Amino acid sequence: MNTKKIVITGGPGTGKSSIINKLKSRGFVCYDEISREITLQARKDGIEQLFLTEPLLFSEKLLKGRTQQFKDAIKEDKNLVFLDRGLPDVLAYMDYIGDNYPDRFIETCKLYAYDYVFVLAPWQEIFTSDSERYENFEQAIEIHHHLLETYMRFGYQLIDVPFETIEKRTDFVLEVLNL
């Protein structure tokens, strides 16, 4: 089966996980964002904010985890799988902080291509910070621009998800996919 891999991306606090959770509740196969679990594991190991203290190590872990998610998605016996963020997000965040990364990061993004990429823009009304999210709204806007640039650099046609209720945003994604 040729499983379609669909990314839901956007800066922090844009509603990605809410849409993923709504898709799950409707019976779709969805893979959660893995950066929170990496952050929480680092805290258990005594590092408060791994991305800020060791961005390359954090990004290595993300790249490995998202590559595994991609490989797992291929094995699903479903027509499509939704992913909360994709591999190019790793590069976008590294570009955002101005850090270098190995060429294999780029090669990985070229090797594992997604079928659709839905983008959620920063939205002040729903933006909140929490213990794993260190960015403020202005930083979320800057990250959003890096995400757009990075995905377009890899040739993706980005689909903007409108500002609406979670229900309507989820419906929009499904309508675009003719579901």
Residue 150 pLDDT more than 80?
A: yes
- pLDDT at position 35 is 85
Instruction: Please report which confidence band the pLDDT of residue 53 belongs to, taking 50, 70 and 90 as the band edges.
Output: confident
pTM of the full structure = 0.92
Instruction: Please report which confidence band the pLDDT of residue 131 belongs to, taking 50, 70 and 90 as the band edges.
Output: low
Residue 62 pLDDT more than 70?
A: yes
Are 81 and 5 in contact by the 8 Å Cβ rule? The answer is yes
- pLDDT at position 40 is 80
Whose CA is closest to 109, among 156, 51, 52?
156
Report, as an integer, the average pLDDT of 15-21: 94
Are 170 and 23 in contact by the 8 Å Cβ rule? The answer is yes
- pLDDT at position 83 is 98
Residue 71 pLDDT more than 60?
A: yes
> Could you write out the DSSP letters of every residue in the chain?
---EEEEEEESTTSSHHHHHHHHHHTT-EEE--SHHHHHHHHHHTT-S-HHHH-HHHHHHHHHHHHHHHHHHHHH-SSSEEEEES-HHHHHHHHHHHT----HHHHHHHHHS--SEEEEE---TTT---BTTB---HHHHHHHHHHHHHHHHHTT--EEEEPS--HHHHHHHHHHHTT-
Residue 63 pLDDT more than 80?
A: yes
User: Going by C-beta distance under 8 Å and a sequence separation of 6 or more, which residues neighbour residue 160?
Assistant: 118, 119, 121
The amino acid at residue 171 is D
Summarize pLDDT for 31-44 with one digit per residue, the tens: 999 988 888 888 88
- pLDDT at position 179 is 85
What structural domains does the chain harbor?
4-176 (3.40.50.300)
